[in-house]
């Protein structure tokens, strides 16, 4: 199987993507998923979307679920909640193109979303947590790069067995 967007990605990102690719590949790539790919996206996001197009599947990190079925523009989620943007936190997201950001996962209750965002010219994505369900931390919160952001999510999971085995070694080493 060919993964054309992997060139130049670091070892941790490749190991993480290998976990997402651990399921059997689809008979044919998901055309809708491939339709989300854009030239201005960072390589790691292109590789992640391409992985979803070929493997779909579900990777859970505690109650955070990352699967192809969750992918959609973040702006669609934000519009559905109709928040007062001025009342939301905007922690670490200055300059990120949140209108172009893509939701890659959400919590099981559907109240917290994890989106891949980037600034023009960024080589790597920034994982952003978005919540607008009446919590004290409602808003946008940058979590870091793909691996660092998912590790932050994994760090909050008390029982490491609730982190899918396919990604546990990368996200929760030594646990």
Based on C-alpha coordinates, what's the Rg of the chain? 15
Q: Specify the pLDDT at position 83.
A: 81
User: How far is the C-alpha of 170 from the C-alpha of 27, rounded, in Å?
Assistant: 28
The predicted pLDDT at position 84 comes to: 79
**What are the distances in angstroms from CA 162 to CA 9, 60, 175?**
27, 7, 11
pLDDT in tens, the chain (175 residues): 889 999 999 999 999 999 999 988 999 999 999 999 999 999 999 999 999 999 988 999 999 999 999 999 999 999 998 887 778 899 999 999 999 999 999 999 989 999 999 999 999 999 999 998 887 788 999 999 999 999 999 999 999 999 999 999 999 998 8
Q: Count Cβ neighbours within 10 Å for each residue of 86-117 and write b for 16 or more, e otherwise.
A: eebeeeebeebebebbbbbbbbeeeebbbbbb
Per domain, the residue ranges of the chain are 11-169
The predicted pLDDT at position 107 comes to 95
Cα-Cα-Cα-Cα dihedral sign, residues 143, 147, 148, 152: positive
């Amino acid at each position: 199987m060919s993964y054309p967007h992997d060139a130049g990605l670091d070892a941790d990102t490749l190991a993480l993507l290998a976990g997402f690719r651990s399921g059997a590949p689809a008979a044919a790539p998901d055309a809708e998923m491939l339709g989300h790919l854009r030239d201005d996206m960072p390589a790691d996001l292109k590789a992640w979307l391409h992985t979803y197009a070929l493997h779909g599947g579900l990777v859970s990190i505690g109650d955070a679920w990352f699967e192809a079925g969750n992918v959609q523009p973040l702006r669609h989620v934000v519009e559905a909640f109709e928040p007062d943007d001025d009342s939301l936190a905007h922690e670490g997201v200055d300059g990120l193109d949140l209108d172009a950001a893509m939701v890659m996962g959400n919590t099981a209750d559907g109240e917290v979303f994890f989106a891949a965002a980037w600034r023009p010219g960024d080589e790597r994505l920034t994982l952003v947590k978005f919540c607008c369900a009446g919590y004290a931390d409602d808003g946008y919160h940058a979590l870091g790069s793909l691996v660092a952001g998912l590790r932050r999510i994994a760090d909050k999971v008390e029982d490491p067995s609730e982190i899918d085995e396919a990604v546990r070694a990368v996200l929760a080493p030594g646990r």
